[in-house]
A and B are shown apart, each in its own frame.
Chain A
Amino acid sequence: MNVREHKIVITGTMGAGKTTAIRQISDHPPLLTDVANTRRDESDKATTTAAFDFGELDLGDGEVLRIYGTPGQERFDFMWPIVARGALGIVFLLDLSREDPVADLERYFSAFGKQLGETPSVLALNKLDAVEAAPVALFQQYLEGRGLSWPIIPTDVREREHVLDLMEVVLSLNESLLTEES
C-alpha cells in the first residue's frame, strides 16, 4: 500500500537537539543515519547524522506525518532545502550554548534561500541553561531586519510537551494561512 507522507522539518546545527526532539514525539525510535563526526571543531559529538533522521506518526488511512531532522554538518547543507521541500513547516532549532547562534542562523538562512518565505517557520531557542535569559528580542530584531515575522519560542526539546508546542505552532500557522487564502 502506498503511504501518503506529510512532513515537518527540524533543522539546526550539530548537537542542537534535532534527534532529541524527534524522539519525543515519534511513534517509533527515530531512524538514525549517524556516521563518525569528522568536524569535532563544530561539535563534540562522536557521531552525527549523515543523511537525515526521521520519526513518524501514523495518522491512519495510509497517511503518516514524518518529522525530519536535517544533517547537522555544513558539508551537507545542499540537502537542507531538498529535505524541506513540500514540508508543512520548518523548525529552526538554535543551540544557545554555541558561540554565535546568530551566525548559525545566518548560515541556515543562506542555505534555505527563497524557501524561507515560502514555508511556515518557527525559530526555537534550545539549551536555555547556557544563557541568563533567552535573547528573544535579539532574534526578533534579526528577523525583522530580514523582513521575516516568525514565532520565536524558547524551548527545551528534552521535554515532550515543549516539542508538541512547537508542532502546534507550525500547525496553527498553516491553519491561519488556509483562512487567509479562503
Chain B
Amino acid sequence: MSAKPSTIACVGLPGHERTMVRLVTEVEAQNLERPWRYGSPDRADVVFLDPAADQLDGHAVSPVTRPALVAVINADAPTATQTPLGRPALTLRRPIDSEAIRQTLQTVDQRAARHPAYTEGGAQEADKALSPAPLGLALHEAMVEGATRTSWRLTFTDNENHVLILHPGRDQLRGAVKRLGAEPLHGGATVTRARIASETANDDSAIGTDRSNTLYALLWGLGYRTEPALPLFGDPQRATIHLRFWPRIGELDLDREELRALTRLFRRSYHIGDAARATGLKEEALIALMNGAWLAGDLAVDASTPSDRSTRRPAAKVTPKLIDRIRNRMARAS
C-alpha cells in the first residue's frame, strides 16, 4: 500500500479507548482500506472525541485539515449534534470495540470518496442547525431549498435518539423513521439540516416509496400540525394543486370544512386562493392541510387533474341550494 497515511487522533477519551483506537491502526492495518497512523488532533484527518469529557478545553482541530469528528458517547446518552470542536460527522456508542472503530474509518473513507469535501470540512460547513427556529420555518426553508437541491436532508432527533429524516428534493414520499413518535416532533426535537454525505448511510436505508402507515401518518401530522403553516409545496399564489390520492386521514380528526376542501381538491386542480374561496376555508388552514398531503406524498403540484376521476355528473336533481339545505340540516343533527 503506497498511499500516504491519514492521521487519526483522540480527544477526551479514557486511556483504554485511546489504546484501542491506536491498536486498530497498527494491528488491524491489513483490514483497513488505506493506512492510518495515530497522531495529534491538530493534524488529524479523523478525531474521535467524547463531547461530555471535561478535558476538551484547550483542544482545537486544525482549520486546515478540518477533520471528520466522531463523537463517542455513552449508550444511553442523546445523540450529540454538536461538540466543543464542531459538529460530529458520526456517532459511536459505548462500549466501542475494534470492529466498530474499523467500520467507522471505512464509513469515513466511503463518504470521502463520494464527497471529497467531506473530510476537508465540507460536511461541517454544510451542516446547519435549524433549532431554535420554529419548526414550520425550518421545514419551509429546507423544502424550498430542497426543491432545487436534492442533496439536502432534514433530520429530526428526539431525546431518546429516535430519528426522522426527510429528503425534500425527492419525488417520492421521503423519509426514514426509527420509532420517532409525533409528539417529540412538536415538543423539542432537535432539527438539523445536513448535506447528504452518503447515499448508503445506515440511517437512510428506509427512504423510498414507503407508504407504511406509521411513516405516512407521521409525515401527514408533521405537515398538518407544524406552525407556522408556511407552504412547503411551492409558491401558493402560482402553484396549482390537487390530491393524487384520497388521504388516509383516519387519525387526523379533520373538521367538515377540511373534508369539504379535500373532496374539492381530490376532484380537480386549484390555486390555493380559488380553493379557499370554493371551500370557505382560510388560506392558512388550507396550506396546513396541503402541507400534510405534500409531505405524505398525496399532493400533486402543477400537474393536470387526472382525467380518470370516475364520476362526471352530479345527480340530476342536485343544486347548490339543495346541498346547502342538506348541509345545514346535517349540522343541526350534529
Contact = CB atoms under 8 A, between A and B. Distances in A.
Answer yes or no: do A and B interact: yes
B256 A119 contact: no
A175 interface: yes
A179 interface: yes
Interface stretch (A33-41, A91-99, A163-171): A163-171
Given A137-B211, A176-B263, A59 B325 contact: yes
A172 B264 contact: yes
Interface string A125-159: 00010000110110010000001111111100000
Interface stretch (A12-20, A45-53, A68-76, A81-89): A81-89
A43 to B, nearest CB: 25
A164 B257 CA distance: 12
A113 interface: no
A120 B311 contact: yes
A136 to B, nearest CB: 4
Contacts of B317: 6, 86
Contacts of A57: 326, 329-330, 333
A181 interface: yes
A169 B263 contact: yes
Interface in B302-334: 306, 308-320, 322-323, 325-327, 329-330, 333-334
Given A172-B263, A173-B311, A174-B318, A25 B325 contact: no
B56 to A, nearest CB: 47
A120 B315 CA distance: 8
A173 B260 CA distance: 8
A116 B323 CA distance: 21
Contact of A147 (B249, B267, B310): B310
Contacts of B329: 57-59, 65
B322 A6 contact: yes
B296 to A, nearest CB: 12
Given A59-B329, A134-B248, A167-B330, A177 B308 contact: no
Nearest to A7: B315
Nearest to B317: A6
B316 A86 contact: yes
B327 A174 contact: no
Nearest to A116: B310
A60 B325 CA distance: 9
A88 B264 CA distance: 16
A179 B330 contact: no
Interface residues of B, number: 40
A160 B312 CA distance: 29
Which of A25, A120, A171 has the most chain B CB atoms inside 10 A of its CB?
Answer: A171
A106 interface: no
B250 interface: yes
B2 interface: no
B263 A173 contact: yes
Contact of B246 (A60, A65, A120, A152): A152
B334 A160 contact: yes
B77 interface: no
Contacts of A11: none
A131 B322 CA distance: 38
A117 interface: yes
Contact of B326 (A128, A171, A173): A171
Interface string B214-241: 0000000000000000000000000000
Given A57-B333, A164-B256, A168-B327, A176 B268 contact: yes
Contact of A169 (B259, B268, B314, B325): B259
B266 interface: yes
A44 interface: no
A132 B278 CA distance: 37
B311 A118 contact: yes
Contacts of A137: 211, 248
15 contacts: A65-B326, A87-B315, A128-B250, A137-B211, A147-B308, A151-B262, A151-B266, A153-B246, A160-B334, A174-B318, A175-B320, A176-B267, A177-B267, A178-B323, A181-B314
